[in-house]
Chain A
Amino acid sequence: MMDIEQYLRDNKPEMPEEGQFLVETNARLCNVEGVKKCVDEDRHRGRVALIIALGAGLVLGCLATLLVVIYPFPSIEVNQSALAKVVAELLKWKAFLIALIAGCAIALGVVFMSRKKEAL
């Protein structure tokens, strides 16, 4: 009785000629090559744009810092008055804001519960 392992090793399938396969594969690789080049160019352009944006940001940041250092501004006074205005505005709309937050919380709760039901 023949061993199954030996039988498998003795009966490796043979593949037909490779010529046509290689020709078709080469053609597909040529097509892919074109797409790959376009993608690589896009990536390169993206990288260049990113570097330019970083450089511009750095330069603008340095300029802004320089301006602040050259022309100092009484920021504390401005901040305090702005804060007082914001607090007064919030107090005026207190009831409306509380209702809005409560509404959002209820809506979120309903969405969460319905999703949980769907998952189950």
Chain B
Amino acid sequence: MTRERFISEARACQGRLRRFLASLCGDAALADDIAQEALVRAYVMSDRFAGSFKAWLFRIAYNCFIDNLRRVPPPAVDLMAPEALHVADKEESDAAFRHEALKRALSRIPEKERTAIVLHYFEDLPVKEIAAIMNIPVGTVKYYLSVGRNHLKEHIRL
């Protein structure tokens, strides 16, 4: 793959890539750092690329996110003490607030469930593609989606 083609493909995907990573990390600056690391890794390995560029790039980005998580583990989250967040009430229907509440709720669920939820609902990826990105079976993705939805319901009162 030539540099020009790589850059044009990366330019087309970068918005979604950054949103995916920002939803996983909950920090836009860190997400941008990981996205850049992923793009550099992808560029170095671009000779070996085959198939869908977006899925391939997301897979590399997910691996970068996991590497980052191992280097800097997040603070422990107590799943048994969910915070009820009133997000759909009339006086609290502000979009920014709802996003903040969602961000907090996402940070409280396990990383694999969060990844499946983000890829499926924010990036509109099919389960099969998510399975390829996370390198797990399709059934496991469906399980993570179901459990993740239930965990989110515990943290967000709709």
Contacts and interface: CB of A to CB of B under 8 A. Distances in A.
A8 B39 CA distance: 27
B55 interface: no
A2 interface: yes
| Chain A interface bracket (under 10, 10 to 19, 20 to 34, 35 or more) | 20 to 34
B80 to A, nearest CB: 20
B99 A13 contact: yes
Given A29-B43, A33-B3, A8 B99 contact: no
Interface string A37-70: 0000000000000000000000000000000000
B14 A18 contact: yes
> A-side binding surface: helix, strand, loop or mixed?
helix
A2 B88 contact: yes
B11 A29 contact: no
A13 B19 contact: yes
Contacts of B149: 4-5
A42 B142 CA distance: 46
Contacts of B18: 15, 18, 21
A29 B40 contact: yes
